[in-house]
Amino acid sequence: MPNESLAGEVAALRPMLLRLARLQLRNEGWAEDAVSETLVAALEGLAGFHGHSRIQTWVVGILKHKILDQFRRSGREVALDAEDCAALPDEGEDLFLPDGHRVHRPASWGNPEETLRQAQFLEVLQACVDQLPAAQGRLFLLREWMEMETPEICKELGLTPTNCFVLLHRARSRLRECLELRWEGGARAAS
Amino acid sequence: MVPFRITCREAQELLSLQRDTSLGPLRRLRLRTHLWMCHGCREVMRHFEILSRAARRLGS
């Protein structure tokens, strides 16, 4: 019999899982489905959880698989979004002057270890990813959160490598601008 | 060395690209030369690294 308190811990992860699934999938219905499947799989598999890792890490690992399944089921729709997004001109162009110099000088984000330990940095990062166009947000998280290789992502989304690289570059550039504006440690955050 | 000079805009594109694929020797040399001279782009390189490490921590 699976441990009941462990089952309770898994169920309590639902809001956190839903937030991650929404961020990655950018579709409410798909996110709900992926999280439901994750919770079912986790509860069924609890007997196989031996506590070598934190329960949360284990369940998030399951969520990543379910998200990928969901992308595969919705491939066509996701691919069309990505193509549309790649075809649009880059709205981040105003970050540079016509001579190729930046409008704003990038500031130091401090010691990476300390920055990464700040809950606020991760909070603002999530808010910033949420503001990206859907295709850019999906691509960035597939690459950096799901840690998929770029050729694999391009193939999943039916994108040419060039379009993949362009969208990832736009996503990263916008995210660093967003963090500079909104994170307290960023250069231009309101003080 | 005029052919090796790239702008900050181009350097930032390469800084992103090198996280996803291999740049090849010529582009790598151009980027390295630019970074050696440009404090701002070195900072952006660190920002991209922090973004990547931060994203991996979501949900952990």
Q: Are residues A119 and A95 in the same domain?
A: yes
- Among A26, A48, A73, identify where a domain stops: A73
| A:8-37 residues touching chain B, CB 8 A cutoff | 16-17, 20, 23
**pLDDT of A136 above 80:** yes
Ordered by start, the domain boundaries in chain B are: 2-56
Of the candidates A49, A1, A40, the one whose C-alpha atom is nearest the C-alpha of residue A17 is A40
Any A CB within 8 A of B37 CB: no
**Inter-residue contact A96 to A102 (CB < 8 Å):** yes
| Residues of chain B contacting A172 with CB distance shorter than 8 Å | 16, 19, 48, 51
**Inter-residue contact A38 to A62 (CB < 8 Å):** yes
Portion of chain A with pLDDT greater than 90, in percent: 64
- Among A73, A101, A117, identify where a domain stops: A73
Q: What is the mean pLDDT of residues A85-109?
A: 81
- Binned at pLDDT 50, 70 and 90, residue A103 comes out as confident
How many domains does chain A contain in total? 2
CATH number at residue A9: 1.10.1740
Which of B16, B20, B53 comes nearest A112 by C-beta?
B53
Q: Are residues A42 and A79 in the same domain?
A: no
**pLDDT of A1 above 60:** no
Q: Inter-chain contact B58–A145, Cβ cutoff 8 Å?
A: yes
State the count of interchain CB pairs (< 8 A) between A and B. 99
CA angle A136, A140, A146 (to 5 degrees): 140
| A:115-174 residues touching chain B, CB 8 A cutoff | 115-116, 121-122, 125-126, 129, 140-141, 143-145, 147, 150, 161, 164-165, 168-169, 172-173
Q: Inter-chain contact A176–B47, Cβ cutoff 8 Å?
A: yes
Q: What's the complex ipTM?
A: 0.94
Q: Are residues A132 and A64 in the same domain?
A: no
Could you say which DSSP state residue A146 is in? S
Q: Inter-chain contact A106–B55, Cβ cutoff 8 Å?
A: no
| Residues of chain A contacting B12 with CB distance shorter than 8 Å | 169, 173
More confident residue, A171 or A105: A171
CATH number at residue A171: 1.10.10.10
Lowest-pLDDT choice from A55-59, A156-160, A170-174, B37-41: A156-160
Q: What is the mean pLDDT of residues A35-52?
A: 89
- The phi, psi pair for A111, rounded to 5°, reads -65, 120
Q: Are residues A28 and A84 in the same domain?
A: no
- Binned at pLDDT 50, 70 and 90, residue A5 comes out as confident
Q: Give pTM, 2 decimals.
A: 0.91
Q: What local confidence, expressed as pLDDT, does residue A93 receive? A: 59
Beta-carbon contacts of residue A20 (< 8 Å; ≥ 6 apart): A60, A63, B58, B59
Q: What is the mean pLDDT of residues A110-117?
A: 92
**pLDDT by residue (tens digit) across A49-75?**
877 778 999 999 999 999 999 999 987
Q: What is the mean pLDDT of residues A118-130?
A: 95
Range of the domain at A184: 75-191
